[in-house]
Chains A and B, each alone.
Chain A
Amino acid sequence: MNLNRTRAIAKKEFKHLMRDVRLLAVLVFSPVFLLGVFGYAVNFDVHHIKIVVYDKEQSKISREFINGLTQSTYFDLIGYISDDSYIREVLDTKKAQCVVVIPVDLSQKFYSRQEAKIQYLIDGVDGNTANIIQFYVTAATYSFSSKLSSEVLARSGMRSFLPLNFEPLFWFNPDLKSTRFLIPGLIAMILIVTAAVSVSLSLVREKERGTIEQINVSSIKTSELLIGKTLPNVLLALLNATMILVVGYLLFDVVVKGSILLLFFCTLIFLIACTSIGILVSVISDSQRLAFSIATSLTMLPSFILSGFVFPIESMPVTVQILTNITPAKFFIRILRAIILRDVGVYAFWDQLVYLILFASALLTAAILIYNRKEKNN
């Protein structure tokens, strides 16, 4: 390794980056833009569920029940209907996500100490949301029901008594905000795409322009060339990571609970893995266009779908779980969530760091093998 030659390559690469103002702007601002868009758009919190009520009885109890439902921010009362035939219509036209049907004999059953049934008709097209709505209405019905029973018991001089109750406590993300869970994934996805794309493009550009010939004729070593070329891009990616964290804090209140230093160290390891993708892509492709499409397709979708960013890996079929190892984002997201949300030390995720290093070495080895084979046939 000769540091002077490495520095020469890095210096030149840096100049390229600074001169192409448009590309630089895209590289610097698109991550922040993506974060804004994703942060607001990808949100699994369900609030303001639109409900329509068909109150067949219109009694004191039924009105009390409806008031109870609509007091929370979870439900928005859109209106009432007075006939069965409207149920389909309000669900079809998406005026409501849930229709509450209160039976005509609610009070009568209550006073005769029989069980009355409230019917909920939920729009099941979006299964995820439907599940959450079901969870909310169950909880709402259960609490109203226990309130009623305690009133009845009180009237006959008895104290209400629940044999078991539960009190969940959510650690690390107490108010269960999904942005807090998503931002680490976003950081990983944005970094992997920008790092892999920029490294592969900068290497392939030399091939496309033929300048690689001049570099090869000099006494420069491949390691010097690769380190010199990737260094400025890695620094840029670190800058991106910092900006994402700052914007994540400003827009979404995501605070890094753990050590910033550890976070940057792990990010650096992850970027080496991303860079190895870029290097492999540059070996395979001869034009910038090809490199761009291979690099984006290798990084974008896997880091979105297979990384655990949005969909939990544990609930995937086993074959898909094996497939998830094609993206280093999977390992990095675990590390990020550990540092940002849980403030745990390296003991909790050292294995993920090992995977990242293994991933990078595997890809670099593949790149070297393919490169040597191509050289032979040249």
Chain B
Amino acid sequence: MNNIIEITSLRKNYGEIKAVNDVSLSVNKGEMFGLVGPDGAGKTTMIRILCGLIIQESGVVKILDKDRSQSRKEIQKNIGYLSQKFSLYGDLSVDENIEFFAEIHNVKDYFKRRDELLDFSRLKPFRNRIAEKLSGGMKQKLALVCCLIHEPKILFLDEPTTGVDPVSRRDFWKILSKLLKDGITIFMSTPYLDEAERCNRVALMNAGEIIALDTPQKIKEKMNKQIIEIVCSPVRIAYQAIKRNTMLEVQMFGDRINVVVENYKLELPSIKKALTENKVQITDERIISPSLENVFMHLIKDAE
């Protein structure tokens, strides 16, 4: 049993919208699998189907070699799910929240596990505090602890670090790497590409479809293009000028633009010409290797 999750031709529609459109993929045991994509790509729908919260129109989901729709009970025992909105009871203390989630999973002897989890999430000093009095980062760690109390084999995380401060995010990732070491499989969705870089494998989802799936490294290599990064101002005018005057793909990032080219030596002069004609100030220009972000923007553009 190498594929802990096996998805075949999964479909889910909301009226006219195809939220998940013929997706097939498999997740290896013990890996961290990232589902990346823009808002509305269908990431949450995917995770909710995998967790058994909604039912697909068609397709088969196998988790731990068992059919999702047939062995619900056994599967639920072995999965943990952290939804986008941290689901905690604000009026219960840290300990009581954990106790509740242990009990509804029918875990009786949870005290040792609870202490362990509190220890390594560094929540122990706050164990008697009411959950709503915790900081955002602590709340999120507590939510994670609550989904881990029944020792799941697979952990589903839906955008777990959205709206969390950078320090807590780093803490959170430390916990995740410890879980991976313990052999837990993690399936997470994220809008952040720096987080996606840290996954073993990444699937890019757009408009309900998977448009790329591989290790971050291989995805970047497959692009086989060069990127010219130009720091300039005003960025918007530069973006429009290049688009008008060349046929090249331009990506905008804050104070800089990236131009996707086959060969920079051939394209650079015409780009610079277009910029100077439009009175754009160029502060810096360099050739960079494509980042995941470049690749994804490129792929999404192709898909459209």
Q: Does A56 contact B (CB under 8 A)?
A: no
Comparing A209-217, A279-287, A341-349, the segment that makes contact with chain B is A209-217
| Distance of B75 from chain A, by nearest CB (Å) | 9
With known contacts A211-B89, A213-B83, A4–B55 Cβ distance under 8 A: no
Contact residues in A for B14 (Cβ distance below 8 Å): 377
Q: Does A378 contact B (CB under 8 A)?
A: yes
| Distance of B286 from chain A, by nearest CB (Å) | 45
How does the 8 Å CB contact mask read for A327-362 relative to B, with 1 for contact and 0 for none? Answer: 000000000000000000000000000000000000
Q: Does A16 contact B (CB under 8 A)?
A: yes
Asked if A378 and B91 make an inter-chain contact with CB atoms under 8 angstroms apart, the answer reads no
Q: Does A45 contact B (CB under 8 A)?
A: no
Q: Does A32 contact B (CB under 8 A)?
A: no
Closest partner residue, chain A, to B103 (CB atom):
A8
Contact residues in A for B104 (Cβ distance below 8 Å): 5, 8-9, 215, 218, 220
With known contacts A4-B103, A5-B104, A376-B55, A214–B146 Cβ distance under 8 A: yes
Asked if B79 and A217 make an inter-chain contact with CB atoms under 8 angstroms apart, the answer reads yes
How does the 8 Å CB contact mask read for B185-214 relative to A, with 1 for contact and 0 for none? Answer: 000000000000000000000000000000
Q: Does B108 contact A (CB under 8 A)?
A: yes
Cα–Cα, bound, A16→B103 (Å): 16
Contact residues in B for A216 (Cβ distance below 8 Å): 52-53
Q: Classify the secondary structure of A's interface with B.
A: helix
Asked if B54 and A219 make an inter-chain contact with CB atoms under 8 angstroms apart, the answer reads no
With known contacts A20-B91, A213-B83, A219–B105 Cβ distance under 8 A: yes
Asked if A5 and B81 make an inter-chain contact with CB atoms under 8 angstroms apart, the answer reads no
Cα–Cα, bound, A377→B81 (Å): 21
Cα–Cα, bound, A147→B88 (Å): 81
Cα–Cα, bound, A18→B96 (Å): 14
**A4, A8, A213: which contacts B100 (Cβ < 8 A)?**
A8
8 Å CB interface, B92-143 against A: 92, 96, 100-101, 103-106, 108
Contact residues in A for B242 (Cβ distance below 8 Å): none
A-to-B contact residues, CB < 8 Å: 2, 4-5, 7-9, 11-12, 15-16, 19-20, 209-220, 375-378
8 extra interchain contacts, Cβ-Cβ under 8 A, other than A8-B104, A209-B85?
A4-B103, A8-B100, A209-B87, A211-B89, A216-B52, A217-B51, A217-B53, A219-B73
B-to-A contact residues, CB < 8 Å: 14, 51-55, 72-73, 76-77, 79-81, 83, 85-92, 96, 100-101, 103-106, 108, 146-147, 150
Q: Could you list some 5 contacts between A and B, CB below 8 A?
A: A8-B104, A12-B89, A214-B101, A220-B104, A378-B54
